[in-house]
A and B are shown apart, each in its own frame.
Chain A
Amino acid sequence: MKRIALLVLEAALTLWLLATLCFFLLHAAPGGPFDSEKAAPPEVQAALDAQYRLDQPLLQQYARWLGDVVRGDLGPSFQYPDYRVNELIASSLPVSLINGSCALLLALLLGMPLGVWAALRAGRWSDRLLMFGAGLGLAMPKFVVAPLLILVFAVTLRWLPAGGWDGGWRSALLPIVALTLPNLAYCARLTRASLLEVLDADYLRAARGRGLSEARLLFAHALKPGLLPVIAWLSPALINVVSGSAVVEQVFGIPGIGRYFVQGALNRDYTLVLGVVLVIGLAIVVINFMVDALRGWLDPRLRDSA
């Protein structure tokens, strides 16, 4: 119980530090949310500043913003005044979550077996071909893969839409594939490398010496430790899921949370950027906690040190 309380306290402290740092960094950046080419007259500017509390001293702005956040209100968006930041995040986060988690799941379900298969056939041509493909998948940036997918499957074959988002599976398919490919490649390589190391370990030689079948060796003894690096990788991969991919979202025109990061920063939409940072920060804390727990379950050595 005490441990959980400590964890919560630590998480809250982390988030507060994150929010505070971001708040002051954002306000220190040159230019403000209402600076544009066709500048507003001073009186209009003053009216806007007053509406958004920008006329108050920075510390006071910070205190009031933090107070609102604690009550669960992330404030109005500067760039999209018709919406609260809460609404924008509520509508965009699920999109990123659906796309990202489908992509990650696909990557795991395909990448781990492929990695195992490659490890068992290490050095043969099929292994080399697979690893070459994975290397290619890793090396190709998303802003190349995504338009390529559109060109093939939407423009030439006309099987799927070239972009946009209507909530249906057809508009989600290509973005998911674009998100899956690098993850899949990484997952396969990681599994292969780690399993090769484990298969070479002394305890497995001993087990093999005692006459265990190769299948039993693999599934009962090698796989669990062999997948540990994959589990460790899950944490950054999951965080990528939550934070969305600005590139893929932009190319496909998907209303995910990743775009708000980029657009919000460019527009100096203070509340939107801070809201997104807080939500993703919270997700990172939770994901790290969960992945640590999972690793502890898989690896007894970690449990003792905790």
Chain B
Amino acid sequence: MGARPYNRKATVAPAETFVTAGARLPAITPPRVYPLPAIGLLLALLLAISATATAQTLLRGNGPEPSTLDAHRCPEVSCGNILRDLYEGLVTEDAKGQLIPGMAERWELSGDGREWIFHLRNGLRWSNGEALTATQIVASFRRAFAPATAAPFAVHFTAIENAEAVQQGKLPPERLGITSPDPRTVVFRITRSVALPQLLLLPIAYPVYLPALEKFGAQHTRPGNLVSNGAYRLEDWRPQAQVSLLRNAWFRDVAPIEHVRYLVTEDAASELQRFEAGDLHITETVPPQPLALLRPRFGTQLRISPYLGAMWIGLNLDKPPLRGNAALREALSLAIDRDKLTRYITGLGESPAYGLIPPGVADYRPVSLPWAGATQAAREALARQRYREAGYGEAQPLQIELRYNTSTPLRRMNLAVAAMWREVLGAQVTLRNEEWKVFVGNRKQRVITQAFRGGWIADVNDARNFLANFETGSITNWSGLHDPGFDALIAAADAAPDLQQRGQKLQQAEARVLTQQAIIPVYFYTSKHLVRPEVQGFEANALDHHASRFLRLVEMRR
């Protein structure tokens, strides 16, 4: 290879600035008590040395161990975070979550609305220095949709011609509607209206380097084998401990931070302690505890912002007592005091939900239940009225099961909900908690469930992502909603010629889910992180994506 990296600065040998494993971050709040002044002096000296050395390494808490670093097979947040640094798709997002050019410098929808055309930048490179071509991008997509890959996010791409048939093995991967007419153009043929650029942020759309896959098989994701195209490349991976990334010298923009270390922080309480001890710059989450306690402790280091996730209580429409009794379902929904719940029970800035889709979704204005603006007293009066209409009362109280997966925060929430149902309606509620796999199985089968913990965290910034859970036949249609009117609206949205009309159809679809009381909206999620002051460029965004290339570490001098 005669090619050279574009930026000389990025070719500086990494070993010189590499931070030894034991190095610590500078303390922000000085420890209050030192047993001996001498030890304090020694520590201060050590900290001063490490402060200069760690400026180049970003330490990020990342939750549980990533299940895989195969971009096409990554299903969860922890692998998604790392892959976002390792790879770049045709389209990417900036620190605020806005779409910006990635491998493609521009893109457009064809005049007839049947093709998305992406024009690649000049001089794209893999992290090993080889040229990255449109043909390779197409080949990567074919591998992503091959049945054997079993890509978890392939379901979102059914708008691409033949994508579904290819994934089901009914057509060969070569028939996938993604082509490269020339080395710098990638064309997606679509069969219905779709916000494709948003979808291309998913890890399944990253280019996987197929020569490594052919050579190393399942081990193509190991350090030394993994070739990527993002701002960073893989340096080291110690299962259940950490994944280390090093700046990719072949990437067009030099990332300000040279090393990024993603640390496995499975236990949120331990992660908090590691942050307090100065072992982490950014945490993955914050363990549930009242904001009133956290704010004074962490001040501006605590970053809470709206997140594209909704918590609701699902209602099984197939089985008694909820089947065919919309008045009862509405009574249960009205009886819940969401303000109280989000203020005293969840307590980390969640906002009360009166709809399915959280605010902040792209090209969409969410819908609310008609009584969203009423006082809680008025809601409760209406709840009791609906309860009586439904055929229940003091003499004949409702007996209902509320099912959730075993977890302390969920237990607190469901206890509160049960108490509200009991207090307002006089219902007799049985709480059932189940181990996760048992719970998801029961919820999917819809045989023994009545009311249950529901909810959704968006994979893509798109309202349809939430609504797809209520389509007839959808695997995640836990409520068992079967509404041809709803299905027709989704189909109409898919056929809509532009995003505005699409949004209107989706709004009507959301309204149908709500007016039929298929779910009880409870609250919208927040993303929660602790971020040290020396980290700059960390911006709130709806999908909670924070690529390391937009972050900087500044030295804090006291």
Give Cα distance in the complex from A306 to B151, angstroms: 59
Give Cα distance in the complex from A151 to B276, angstroms: 9
B239 A80 Cβ-Cβ under 8 A: yes
| Contact A164-B31, Cβ < 8 Å, known A44-B154, A76-B218, A268-B437 | no
| Contact A36-B31, Cβ < 8 Å, known A51-B150, A81-B218 | no
Q: Taking the nearest CB of chain A, how far is it from the CB of B28, in angstroms?
A: 11
B73 A81 Cβ-Cβ under 8 A: yes
A80 B263 Cβ-Cβ under 8 A: no
| Contact A250-B267, Cβ < 8 Å, known A150-B273, A164-B279 | yes
User: Contacts of B264 on A, CB cut-off 8 Å?
Assistant: 253, 255
B150 A91 Cβ-Cβ under 8 A: no
Give Cα distance in the complex from A36 to B68, angstroms: 16
Q: Is B202 an interface residue (CB 8 A)?
A: no
A47 B273 Cβ-Cβ under 8 A: no
Give Cα distance in the complex from A179 to B476, angstroms: 44
Q: Is A279 an interface residue (CB 8 A)?
A: no
A-B contact count (CB 8 A): 166
| Contact A82-B69, Cβ < 8 Å, known A47-B148, A255-B241 | yes
Central interface residue in B22, B32, B35, by most chain A CB within 10 Å: B22
Q: Taking the nearest CB of chain A, how far is it from the CB of B469, in angstroms?
A: 10
Q: Is B11 an interface residue (CB 8 A)?
A: no
Say which residue of A36, A162, A255 sits within 8 Å of B279 (CB atoms): A162
Please report which residues of chain B, range 431-473, place their CB below 8 angstroms from some CB of chain A when the two chains form the complex: 435-438, 440-441, 444, 459
A158 B278 Cβ-Cβ under 8 A: yes
| Contact A147-B273, Cβ < 8 Å, known A81-B73, A253-B241 | yes
Give Cα distance in the complex from A92 to B239, angstroms: 8
User: Contacts of B267 on A, CB cut-off 8 Å?
Assistant: 250-251, 253
User: Contacts of B391 on A, CB cut-off 8 Å?
Assistant: none
Residue of A nearest to B221 (CB): A82
Give Cα distance in the complex from A252 to B239, angstroms: 15
Q: Taking the nearest CB of chain B, how far is it from the CB of A281, in angstroms?
A: 22
B475 A41 Cβ-Cβ under 8 A: yes
Contact with B along A81-95 (1 / 0, CB 8 A): 111000110011000
Chain A interface SS verdict (over half): loop
Q: Taking the nearest CB of chain A, how far is it from the CB of B11, in angstroms?
A: 27
Say which residue of B65, B270, B438 sits within 8 Å of A163 (CB atoms): B270
User: Contacts of A159 on B, CB cut-off 8 Å?
Assistant: 43
User: Size class of A's contact patch?
Assistant: 35 or more
> Which of A62-70, A105-113, A165-173, A290-298 lies at the interface?
A165-173
Please report which residues of chain A, range 23-70, place their CB below 8 angstroms from some CB of chain B when the two chains form the complex: 29-32, 35-41, 43-44, 47-48, 51
Q: Taking the nearest CB of chain B, how far is it from the CB of A266, in angstroms?
A: 7
Number of interface residues of B (CB under 8 A): 59
Q: Is A156 an interface residue (CB 8 A)?
A: yes
Contact with B along A261-277 (1 / 0, CB 8 A): 00000101000000000
User: Contacts of B75 on A, CB cut-off 8 Å?
Assistant: 36, 38
Say which residue of A41, A158, A255 sits within 8 Å of B43 (CB atoms): A158
User: Contacts of B147 on A, CB cut-off 8 Å?
Assistant: 43-44, 47
| Contact A147-B22, Cβ < 8 Å, known A164-B263, A253-B263 | no
15 contacts across the A-B interface (CB closer than 8 A): A29-B437, A35-B437, A40-B475, A43-B167, A44-B154, A81-B73, A82-B69, A82-B219, A156-B33, A163-B273, A164-B263, A171-B21, A253-B241, A259-B240, A266-B435
List residues of chain B with CB under 8 Å of any chain A CB.
Answer: 21-22, 24, 27, 31-35, 43, 65, 67-70, 73, 75, 147-148, 150-152, 154-155, 167-169, 218-219, 221-222, 238-242, 263-267, 269-270, 273-274, 276-279, 435-438, 440-441, 444, 459, 475-476
List residues of chain A with CB under 8 Å of any chain B CB.
Answer: 29-32, 35-41, 43-44, 47-48, 51, 76, 79-83, 87-88, 91-92, 147, 150-151, 154-159, 161-168, 170-171, 250-256, 259, 266, 268
Q: 19 more A-B contacts (CB under 8 A) besides A41-B168, A164-B274?
A: A40-B150, A47-B147, A47-B148, A79-B67, A82-B68, A82-B70, A83-B239, A87-B239, A88-B239, A156-B32, A157-B35, A158-B27, A164-B263, A164-B279, A171-B21, A250-B266, A253-B266, A259-B240, A266-B435
